[in-house]
Structure formats: structure tokens, C-alpha cells
Amino acid sequence: MFWSIIGHWSIPSLFIPALFGTLISFHPARSQWQSQPSTRSPQTPYAPFDPLTAAIIRLAAQIAYPLAIVQPNIERIDVIGFRWRVLNASVGLAFAFAEAIASAAIFLTKDKRSTAKMGPETEAEEVG
């Protein structure tokens, strides 16, 4: 019974968000690196896991996971209840949004600085 409860908790809380957080990325630097792998510098750290995607998927999974179907077989499988699961996933999503906004601002300022350093003549050469 213990492992069944842990298994049904870990599917929408860990496994599904980890899968989608690894496969899909909303981060601009990660998306740019995936489209142009040869331009990545060796000093740039790259994490293949996107916490924003994982948090969005975790919230959706907490809402959509069918605990009510599994619940008749095992008594009290939803230990904390629907409201607390959704609140927990929502708070995680809020922190993921805050991190994404902060890192996007840093990424955009670095991108603007590198564009300004290149100058208009090197930009035209790269485009044409």
C-alpha cells in the first residue's frame, strides 16, 4: 500500500514534469542553443532541464491525474487533497516564473550588449 501511494504521488509530481521539462524548453538561451548547437561557447553552462516547463506540466498533471479512479482501490490515496496539491504546484509555478523572468532579463541584456559591440557593419554581414 505504501509503494502504491508513493507511486501515484510521484507520477504527476516527479516523472511527468521531469520528462517534459527535459524535452521542451521555454528558456531563450536554451532554445537558441538547441537551434544553433555549433555557436555555443564552451564557457556557457547548459542545463537540459527547464524548470518553467516542468512547473507548468506539474500543475496540469496535478489537476488532470485521475486519483479519483484509483482511489476506490486504495483507501486514502490522496493524502493531502486536491486543493493542497494544486496550491503546492501553483506556488512552484510562481517561483519558476520568477526565475524565468529574471534569467530572461539577464539573457536579453547580454544579447543587446553583444549586438551593440558588433556594430552595424558586422550585423549586416551576418544577415547577408
Enclosing domain of residue 33: 2-127
Distance separating alpha carbons of residues 19 and 2, to the nearest angstrom: 24
Categorize the per-residue pLDDT at 13 as very low, low, confident or very high, splitting at 50, 70 and 90.
very high
DSSP state of 49: -
DSSP for 4-44, written as a single string: HHHHHHHIIIIIHHHHHHHH----HHHHHHHH-GGG--TTS
Interval 14-47: pLDDT, tens: 999 999 999 988 766 655 544 455 555 555 556 6
Note if the pTM is more than 0.85: no
CB burial of residue 17 (10 Å; 0-12, 13-18, 19+) = buried
30: CB partners within 8 A, 6+ apart: 46, 47, 48, 50
Say if CB 61 and CB 88 are below 8 A apart: no
Say if CB 30 and CB 50 are below 8 A apart: yes
Distance separating alpha carbons of residues 109 and 119, to the nearest angstrom: 16
Asked if pLDDT for residue 81 goes beyond 80, the answer is yes
Model pLDDT, residue 2: 78
Distance separating alpha carbons of residues 71 and 73, to the nearest angstrom: 5
User: Which residue has better confidence, 79 or 42?
Assistant: 79
Model pLDDT, residue 14: 94
Interval 83-102: pLDDT, tens: 999 999 999 999 999 988 88
Model pLDDT, residue 117: 63
How many structural domains comprise the chain?
1
